[in-house]
Chain A
Amino acid sequence: MKSFLFLFIALKAIDFDLYAAEAGMPQLDPTYWASQAFWLILVFTILYISISKFYLPKIKNNLDNRESKIKEDLENANKFKEQTEEKIKEYEAILKNAKKEVTKIHFESKKILDKNIQSKKNSMEKEIEKEIAKAQKEILEIKKNSILSIQKISESISSTLIESISGDKLNESSIRATVEEVSKKNIGKYL
């Protein structure tokens, strides 16, 4: 089937004189060789001159401009980047200093505060001690006084008791001596 198709194509081709459209190649006919050479040289010379004098310098100029612009932009970008980094460094240094100062201030104020608190505390304690001492003294006095009054009371009670029990009036001085003796013996218990 395939070979039939090709045979058919070949026969048809021969029929239509495709292979023998014209005798020989027109390229080898020298009639217009001189004309073609002449026009080729003319056209190509004009093309070469216009390209080399006008268009290539223009394109080159455009390309160079673009390249230099890109280079410039990149340089600028780098410069700005450096500047930014510098600024960031500066900022960090400032921040560090500030932190240092803050801790210093914090520390100092704490120290002052501590000192103040300590001194206040000390003075307070002193005052309190003073007060306590005063109070103890007073208490001691009151105790002594009360012992004296207790002695007097006990003297009078004893004399009254003895008088009412025995009916005799005992010598007051002997009673006093006895009470004093007893109270001296027991004074450690009360003080």
Chain B
Amino acid sequence: MQQFTVHKIGPEIKIAGIDLSFTNASMFMVISASIIILFLYLGSKNKSIIPSKLQLIAEMFYAFVAKMISDTAGSKAKPYFPFIFSLFMFVLFCNMVGMLPYSFTVTSHIIVTLIMALFIFVAVTVIGFIKHGFKYLSIFVPSGVPVVLLPLITIIEIISYLSRPVSLSVRLFANMMAGHTMLKVFGGFVVSLGVLGGWLPLSFSVALTGLEILVAFLQAYVFAILTCIYLNDALNLHH
């Protein structure tokens, strides 16, 4: 679990008695964000008609996220495209940077994912109330449900709505942590078994690394698409 520990880098910064020191977690956030900005800078620098490789990748990300938003939340969600794009890129690059040896996985910390999820939850709720007023509460009362079941369904809907930030944050955090822990355990087996038996966990490690890269992408995608779905609920009140 040593890979998940947070430690201070540089001097202690304390504002109003709260410790806001720059840590290795902060450093990897900055690194991920810098990579994203560098990548997007290189990807949008040339205005050529035939795109370069980096430009093509950047445009693919753009088209990917744009399609994801228009498929799940429709055209009304267009103003939120930059936010969802940033969110997707940030989560994806934090996950991917975390896959490098000796690096730190920002998204494997519950506090980070929880803050993102809470922000999304609050923002979606506020957007819902701004767009629909108190009619937004009808999201808890699905239509076409027998009257007898209505109180129960409403309670279930409220619980599911309130558990959104928890499920969203825990999903990402748990996936990242579990993957890295598993890699660490198998890595430990390789060391402890040595040359004689180490090849078996080593091959597992290789396979798991591939799986983890897939998971890193998938969880970023899931995080972004769930945000889109929540946004869709707030923008287009279906019930």
Contacts and interface: CB of A to CB of B under 8 A. Distances in A.
B82 A48 contact: yes
Interface in B153-202: 173, 177, 185, 188-189, 191-193, 197, 201
Interface size class of A (residues with CB under 8 A): 35 or more
Contact of A36 (B6, B51, B177): B6
A34 to B, nearest CB: 5
Nearest to B31: A43
A58 B43 CA distance: 9
Contacts of B188: 13, 16, 18
Is chain A's binding surface mostly helix, strand, loop or mixed? Answer: helix
A5 B189 contact: no
B97 interface: no
A32 B21 contact: yes
A156 interface: no
Contacts of A25: 1, 4, 177
A40 B49 contact: no
B20 A55 contact: no
B44 to A, nearest CB: 4
Interface stretch (A61-69, A96-104, A118-126, A136-144): A61-69
Nearest to B5: A26
A106 to B, nearest CB: 57
B1 A22 contact: yes
A165 interface: no
A40 B82 contact: no
Contacts of A26: 1, 4-6
Contact of B44 (A15, A58, A66): A58
Contact of B26 (A5, A9, A35, A51): A35
B49 A69 contact: yes
A107 interface: no
B83 interface: yes
Interface of B: 1-2, 4-6, 18-23, 25-26, 29-30, 33, 36-37, 40-41, 43-44, 47, 49, 51, 55, 58-59, 62-63, 81-83, 85-86, 89-90, 106, 108-112, 115-116, 173, 177, 185, 188-189, 191-193, 197, 201
29 contacts: A9-B197, A9-B201, A12-B189, A18-B185, A18-B189, A21-B1, A21-B2, A22-B5, A26-B4, A31-B19, A35-B21, A35-B26, A36-B26, A37-B111, A40-B116, A43-B26, A44-B116, A47-B90, A48-B86, A51-B85, A51-B89, A52-B83, A56-B82, A59-B40, A59-B43, A59-B59, A63-B62, A63-B63, A65-B47
